[in-house]
């Protein structure tokens, strides 16, 4: 077993009827993961992806455009902090808080650093998500029902050490989830919803032992989720979680006290309802589905929450003796409620991975409670599968990079040239050194993991989390210039400015909000609607997707097509550039 107990004890733990808990853990199996190593691993996960890159396509640069519009309003365009707009359109998610934070950071930024400063609050949000998950698992593991079995002659894990070890495992399980990497490094409302849902989860997990901090986390999480475009989700999570915590107290006197706390939490819920109503944040975006769509949701969950979901299912099976009354056991009922609500939200709102992102802290928490019940064979299978999977992924990243730099082997470089025409790779000692250091650290970690030393219950999560961090770091270092070239709008904007020359403004018709944000940020131009023509704006830009609907009207207004500026990654997305005819004033 992962906990290092004897085979006889392992057999005893398989009977949930005879044991109040399936966790049988010795004290030597709950030593803490070194704090410095854990902090460095978290930093290696948080910083790459935020540092050194340009805003990427679609949601990332679109969100940045809303923040930029609030911080630096375009000429002639009204600005409302309660209803942010971009190209005259309000954000579909109706999120306010992430745009407020990004705009406030941009106002502090020196010229040319707006995109970096806009990411700073979101770096903090991701770090806060990791910290909240750790403390939530720690608090739930301290619950009496979650404690391991007491040995007849002593030697069982101490409650505090056991909780710390499980919290380490839960944090590693969260970082190992494949779906967390990209979405958690974008400055979109999805990350703010993840962070605030984890704060709400923390507030409910720490009740009733830390009432002040719990209430503060609960209030910030509820109000923050409401202002991040998810008021309905906030109410479902808050009300259901509060009910679970209220009835989980075995002592009637404590239960009465919990009911008083529940009343205060109800006032916070009422405040969220009032806030959502006043700011007009209620939108029911329920998407009808057919049963055949269930396999799409299943496939999304299988890769998005891997490798936490198999451990979460194993945890529910091994703790099934308590699961029948899960509402009385918050270490099971609370994460199961959060996971169920967020997965249900994913189903009814269009099977979006951004909605499923909020479920990851709860799924990782359930995975953590599987760790003290793992068989040695299952733990070894996780290690070997993880070792092969992430080593192969890292090897692919290195081979493609070497091929781009040297031409050997030739096929990867040929594939890159075909998929991303015009890209010229450049060598950087800084990125090479960072990637090499991460790879050597992975080799050392693998050597440590297969070595002979005392086990710890978080040991099975070390390779999955470290492998995910390794691959993310390699992609965000060795492939960063390639991804910037293909996924950003920089090249498209350069093509536009090369044709128009240095101008202060452009007229637009039928362009997307992401394109508008890219033109305003990269080209430093003001955008004017074609319906409000300006004598100083002598060029017009149109998205080719909408050209067929506008071409006749544009010709009538006296515009002549000059050229097109396509994106590298998607040739179908292209900006059509028009100039005025001689007849125009």
245-283 pLDDT, tens digit per residue, is: 877 665 555 555 455 566 667 677 777 777 766 666 766
Tokens representing 111 are 């010229």
For 208, 218, 365, the CA distances from 202, given in Å and listed in that order, are 12, 8, 11
State yes or no: pLDDT of 98 exceeds 50: yes
DSSP conformation class of 110: P
Lowest mean pLDDT among 40-44, 145-149, 322-326, 513-517: 322-326
Rg (CA), the chain: 27
Per-residue exposure over 538-569, b if at least 16 CB sit within 10 Å of its own CB, e if not: bbbbbbbeebeebeeebeebebeeeebbbbbb
This prediction's pTM: 0.90
Between 93-97, 226-230, 375-379, 488-492, the lowest mean confidence (pLDDT) is in 375-379
Higher-confidence position of 253 and 217? 217
Question: 3-class SS at 505?
Answer: strand
pLDDT at 201: 96
Model pLDDT, residue 469: 96
pLDDT of residue 259: 57
CATH code linked to domain 490-580: 3.40.190
pLDDT of residue 1: 38
Cα angle 150, 152, 156 (rounded to 5 degrees) comes to 40
pLDDT (mean) for 484-492: 88
Task: Kindly report the backbone phi and psi dihedral angles of residue 20, in degrees, each rounded to the nearest multiple of 5, phi listed first.
Answer: -70, -20
First to last CA, the chain: 82
Contact call for residues 206 and 221 (beta carbons, < 8 A): no
Q: Rounded to whole angstroms, how far apart are CA atoms 224 and 555? A: 48
Per-residue pLDDT, 8: 37
Residue 117: other Cβ atoms inside 10 A: 18
Tracing tokens 């995975």 back to the chain, one arrives at 367
Report, as an integer, the average pLDDT of 505-525.
88
Least confident of 27-31, 293-297, 378-382, 579-583: 579-583
Mean pLDDT value across residues 163-191: 95
Residue 397 CA: distances (Å) to CA of 44, 320, 393, 436, 470: 17, 42, 6, 12, 11
Residue 565's DSSP bridge partners are: 575
Contact between 477 and 53 under an 8 Å Cβ cutoff? The reply is no
Question: 388 or 285: which carries more pLDDT confidence?
Answer: 388
Q: Is 201 within 8 Å of 138 (Cβ atoms)?
A: no
- Contact 22/146 with Cβ under 8 angstroms? no
Mean of the pLDDT values across residues 65-84? 82
Measured CA to CA in angstroms, residue 481 lies from 53, 258, 431, 468 at distances of 8, 54, 10, 20
Residue with tokens 């854990």: 38
Give 152 or 113, the one with higher predicted confidence. 113
Q: Is 348 exposed, middle or buried (0-12, 13-18, 19+ CB in 10 A)?
A: middle
d(CA 190, CA 200): 15
Q: What is the pLDDT of residue 41?
A: 95
On the question of pLDDT at 226 being above 50, the answer is yes
* Residue 456 φ then ψ, to 5°: -140, 150
- Report, as an integer, the average pLDDT of 2-29: 55
Determine the 3-state secondary structure of 372 from DSSP. helix
Q: Where are the domains of the chain?
A: 7-30+93-373, 377-487, 490-580
| Residue with token string 């960063």 | 480
Cα gap 165→455, rounded to integer Å? 12
Would the pLDDT of 235 be above 90? Answer: no
- For residue 413, what are its two tokens? 């470089």
Range 289-296 average pLDDT: 70
In DSSP terms, 90 is beta-bridged to 85
DSSP 270-306: HHHHHHHHHTT----------GGGHHHHHHHHHHHST
Does pLDDT of 585 surpass 50?
Answer: no
Identify the band that residue 162 occupies on the pLDDT scale cut at 50, 70 and 90.
very high
pLDDT of residue 482: 93
Q: How high is the mean pLDDT of the chain?
A: 84
**Distance of alpha carbon 39 from alpha carbon 45, whole angstroms:** 10
Give the model confidence (pLDDT) of 200-211 as tens digits. Answer: 999 999 987 777
Q: What is the pLDDT of residues 104-139, one digit of tens each?
A: 999 999 988 999 999 999 999 999 999 999 999 999
What CA–CA distances, in Å, run from 401 to 48, 172, 282, 395, 545? 17, 28, 47, 10, 34
- Tokens found for residue 7: 């085979």
- At residue 191, does pLDDT exceed 50? yes
């Amino acid at each position: 077993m992962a906990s290092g107990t004897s085979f006889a004890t392992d057999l005893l733990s398989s009977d949930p009827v005879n044991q109040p808990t399936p966790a049988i853990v010795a004290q030597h199996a709950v030593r803490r993961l070194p704090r410095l190593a854990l902090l460095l691993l978290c930093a290696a996960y948080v910083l790459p992806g935020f540092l050194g890159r340009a805003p990427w396509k679609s949601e990332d640069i679109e969100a940045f455009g809303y923040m930029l519009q609030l911080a630096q309003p375009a000429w002639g365009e009204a600005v409302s902090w309660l209803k942010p707009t971009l190209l005259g359109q309000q954000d579909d998610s109706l999120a306010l808080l992430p745009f407020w934070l990004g705009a406030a950071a941009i106002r502090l930024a020196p010229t040319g650093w707006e995109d970096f400063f806009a990411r700073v609050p979101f770096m903090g949000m991701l770090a806060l998500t990791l910290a909240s998950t750790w403390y939530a698992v720690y608090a739930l593991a301290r619950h009496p029902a979650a404690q391991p079995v007491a040995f007849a002659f002593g030697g069982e894990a101490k409650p505090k050490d056991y909780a710390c070890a499980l919290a380490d495992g839960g944090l590693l399980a969260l970082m190992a989830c494949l779906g967390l990497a990209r979405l958690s490094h974008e400055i979109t409302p999805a990350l703010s919803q993840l962070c605030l849902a984890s704060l709400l989860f923390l507030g409910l997990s720490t009740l009733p032992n830390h009432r002040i901090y719990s209430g503060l986390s609960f209030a910030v999480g509820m109000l923050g989720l409401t202002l991040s475009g998810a008021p309905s989700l906030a109410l479902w999570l808050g009300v259901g979680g509060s009910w679970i915590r209220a009835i989980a107290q075995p002592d009637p006197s404590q239960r009465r006290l919990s009911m008083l706390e529940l009343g205060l939490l109800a006032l916070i819920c009422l405040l969220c309802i009032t806030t959502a109503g006043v700011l007009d944040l209620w939108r029911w975006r329920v998407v009808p589905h057919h049963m055949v769509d269930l396999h799409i949701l299943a496939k999304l969950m299988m890769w998005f929450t891997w490798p936490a979901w198999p451990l979460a299912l194993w945890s529910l099976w091994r703790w099934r003796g308590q699961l029948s009354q899960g509402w009385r056991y918050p270490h099971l009922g609370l994460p199961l409620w959060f996971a169920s609500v967020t997965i249900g939200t994913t189903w009814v709102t269009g099977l979006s991975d951004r909605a499923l992102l909020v479920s990851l802290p709860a799924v990782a928490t359930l995975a953590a409670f599987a760790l003290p019940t793992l068989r040695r064979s299952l733990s070894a299978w996780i290690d070997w599968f993880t070792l092969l999977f992430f080593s192969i992924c890292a090897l692919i990243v290195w081979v493609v990079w070497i091929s781009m730099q040297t031409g050997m082997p030739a096929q990867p470089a040929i594939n890159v040239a075909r998929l991303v025409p015009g890209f010229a790779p450049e060598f950087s000692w800084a990125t090479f050194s960072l990637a090499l250091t991460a790879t050597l650290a992975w080799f050392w970690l693998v050597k440590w993991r297969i070595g002979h030393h005392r086990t710890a219950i978080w040991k099975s999560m070390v390779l999955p989390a470290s492998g995910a961090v390794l691959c993310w770091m390699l992609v965000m270092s060795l492939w960063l210039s390639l991804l910037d070239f293909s996924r950003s709008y920089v090249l498209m904007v350069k093509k536009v400015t090369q044709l128009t020359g240095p101008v202060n403004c452009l007229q637009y018709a039928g362009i997307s909000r992401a394109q508008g944000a890219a033109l305003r940020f990269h080209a430093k131009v003001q955008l004017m609607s074609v319906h409000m023509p300006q004598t100083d704006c002598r060029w017009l830009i149109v998205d080719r997707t909408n050209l067929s609907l506008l071409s006749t009207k544009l010709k009538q207004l006296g515009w002549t097509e000059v050229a097109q500026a396509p994106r590298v990654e998607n040739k179908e997305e292209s900006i059509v550039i028009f100039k005025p005819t001689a007849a125009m004033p």
